Structure 1
């Protein structure tokens, strides 16, 4: 089978990007030797930029019926209700707390994210049905998401949920075995009224940096230490979840494998190595090709890509690389920008508006109390700035299209 045009373009970028990584960087503790970046086996092109924006994308084309349904639904939603579709609010994996329940009921966020550790499958089913009902607005139901990777990152592991091995173990399995197991794990999520698994991790952790890489390597969250090792496992995991009817998000673009700090707990985390068109981006393209439904953006700053913006606020990363180089026209989602230490210095409202302005769609907000603040900021910005309002509408359309494709929008 021939690869999509987007992947061909990425391959050309990989060859170009590697040539820039051969001179060792001089700044930052997160530096790794340039030898950890795979070198091209053929003469690289003279530019990192793609020769043309891909005309084909792996994103399924909406049917006329789903498109008309989405347009119909868009017209019924107020500006504030549209803004709400772009916020994924954190709630307890055991069910909404007394503080979270009124927020979900009043603000109607477009998604909820399970935090902490949940209970049994049957308890989770009931709790998530209640959360879904609370967040539903005008026939649009919410995304209900969990980090169900395996190993140390598994929110739901009470009775009824399998204990999922770490990615380092999953990466040793055959593709068929991983797909079959992922389908089983996804089936359990589906039974529990969870429709999104914020996985798999597509980050590549160089073996020389594993123990120093706090967010991925030290937690055994990586499938391997080369893109060739990671890509097939990413695809197998996505395929299994897809067969179970569960949406997935490849993360954390453009990769956390070369940093040291964990952005949830540290600020000023920087990658001084990764370049546009880097070979280590291939697993993200592989995940998209397999049918991932979202691409998650990290909050790290990549000095060789956009030294002035964290990736979640970078038009170069989101518009240039994800939507351009990868050819992805679907939903783009943040890593957490609610409770994460990395973005604590950025006003909460700006975390939402800057992401949408950069081309992103869904804002993960682990701190439920910030939900209204983020929604208000999106509304005010859209009222004051026509160009931003158009971007917000485009983002809402992408989110509603994703929901329509997965049975979460009622039309007619």
Structure 2
């Protein structure tokens, strides 16, 4: 039986089933003629590969939301859900993109709120496979990829290459917005509803480091302008964006995939790294309005003056900072809890998920896949005995359902 200690008991425990590492493709050529000047059309920024027919798929979670008075009341929807069904909405599990039937069975059997498509396989993105996955869900499933461009992209083998954030920063924000809108339409046509992008971490690292060329730059104002353009392009295409990695991975002293890392102190982050969050997702900010408001992803970071010995994704003060000081009212996701050693080096998956939800995350994400049932088996008694606060659980599930227009 998997041991699931209460969140206060953070003993060093090795993850029993080793997670697959996050796969990143090497950067490839994408902008023919850049040296000759700005291209006349953003269409030229996508370098096509062998054409693959695209069939437009139903994507319930990405459709524009009806007016609130046409949606069922959230309290009524939650009232008709069991505690386990509510908790399942707070999970986003990685699925095997090469095995559409298994992915659909994961949804049918667990009714998880979201699935994450890791790696570079494409079977689940073809032949209406995601429509079959959605058909097994009683509540529409959020289908997420992390299609940032450059080293981290998911549909390049089907629909062409997307430039990295660093490369896109050589363009104008309007060109980036158009580029992201085109990419978003390609994602939506394949059944994706969410892109875990853009990165709003400040850069400065060499291109191949963990953030490196995934960042739009070192100046908070530049990062804000370009991230806003990219995110709004996704929204216009019907794709929900996720800004990351709160409170800022760009100046950390290492890679949280490889182990614990430390950022500058909180006061330094406030002066620079956290400014894009205030401008993009604070009260009344441009990415928080409309039918597809942005979500935020919290990283696995040690922040002097804030985290006090825990990774940021498991620290209540981090979520209080995001909700309180920065006024974010949308859905908050963890970074990967199943394939990053900043977490897996010390916590097994059930205890990491429980600790993250208890700390204040709305949704726990892990890319390693597997059966979500043992996680739900650990969460149900925690909700019943008050380890997970019932009112906070209701608020989190409500935010998740509203984000995908399942209630209003």
- Give the TM interval when normalised to the shorter protein: 0.7 to 0.9
Q: Which position in structure 2 is the counterpart of 1:340?
A: 340
Residue 267 of structure 1: which of 259, 265, 279 is its match? 259
The answer to whether the Cα contact below 8 Å between 1:294 and 1:333 also exists between their aligned partners in 2 is: yes
Deviation at 1:260, TM superposition (A): 3.4
* 2:151 corresponds to 1:158: no
1:81 aligned to 85, 89, 105, which one?
85
Deviation at 1:125, TM superposition (A): 5.6
Task: Tell me the residue number matched to 1:325.
Answer: 325
1:256-312 C-alpha deviation (Å, 9 max, x unpaired):
111232222x12222244436332211223332231520100011112322222111
Whether the 8 Å contact between 1:213 and 1:260 is mirrored in structure 2 is no
- 1:191-340 to structure 2, matched below 5 A, reads 191-205=189-203, 207=204, 210-211=205-206, 214-217=209-212, 220-264=213-257, 266-275=258-267, 277-288=270-281, 289-291=285-287, 292-319=293-320, 321-340=321-340
Deviation string 1:306-331 (CA, Å, 9 cap, x unpaired) is 22221111121111x11011111110
1:184 aligns with 2:182: yes
Secondary structure, in 3 states, of the residue corresponding to 1:149? coil
Contact residue 260 and residue 311 of structure 2 kept, 8 A: no
* 1:378–1:213 distance in 2 versus 1, CA, 3 Å: farther
TM alignment of 1:47-62, pairs within 5 A = none
1:92 Cα offset (Å): 2.8
Which residue is equivalent to 1:397? 398
TM-score (norm 2): 0.76
Secondary structure in structure 2 of the residue aligned to 1:322: helix
Contact 1:213 1:261 survives alignment (8 Å): no
Report if aligned partners of 1:119, 1:157 keep a CA contact under 8 Å in 2: no
Counterparts of 1:286 and 1:263 in 2: how far apart (Å)? 26
1:410 to 1:286, Cα distance in 2 relative to 1, 3 A: closer
Aligned to 2:47: none
Distance 1:241 1:125, change over 3 A: farther
String of CA shifts for 1:46-105, please: whole Å, max 9, x gaps.
Answer: xxxxxxxxxxxxxxx99653675322211111110111000001013344364x554332
Q: 1:168 maps to what in 2? A: 166
Query: Aligned partners of 2:253 and 2:307: how far apart in 1?
Result: 19
Give the TM-score of the pair, scaled to structure 1: 0.76
Distance of 1:67 and 1:327 partners within structure 2: 26
Deviation at 1:375, TM superposition (A): 1.8
Q: CA RMSD in A?
A: 2.4
Q: Which moved more, 1:100-109 or 1:143-152?
A: 100-109
Counterparts in 2 of 1:178 and 1:309: CA distance versus 1, 3 Å: same
Q: 1:386 and 1:169, CA in 2 relative to 1: closer, same or farther beyond 3 A?
A: closer
Measure the CA separation in 2 of the matches of 1:311 and 1:376: 25
Deviation at 1:370, TM superposition (A): 5.5
State how 1:108-187 maps to structure 2 within 5 Å: 108-119=111-122, 123-124=125-126, 126-134=128-136, 136-137=137-138, 140-159=139-158, 161-187=159-185
Distance 1:285 1:239 in 2: 16
Alignment length (residue pairs):
334
Instruction: Report if aligned partners of 1:318, 1:359 keep a CA contact under 8 Å in 2.
Output: yes
Contact map agreement 1:94 1:124 (CA 8 A) in 2: no
Larger relative helix fraction: 1
Mean Cα deviation higher: 175-184 or 279-288: 279-288
**1:357-403 deviations in whole A, cap 9, x for unaligned?**
22210111112226222222221111000761221111101100111
Cα pair distance change 1:183/1:214, threshold 3 Å? same
How many Å separate the matches in 2 of 1:316 and 1:125? 44
In 2, the alpha carbon distance for the partners of 1:113 and 1:378 equals 20
Deviation at 1:238, TM superposition (A): 0.9
| Counterparts in 2 of 1:125 and 1:312: CA distance versus 1, 3 Å | farther
In 2, distance between residues paired with 1:133 and 1:293? 25
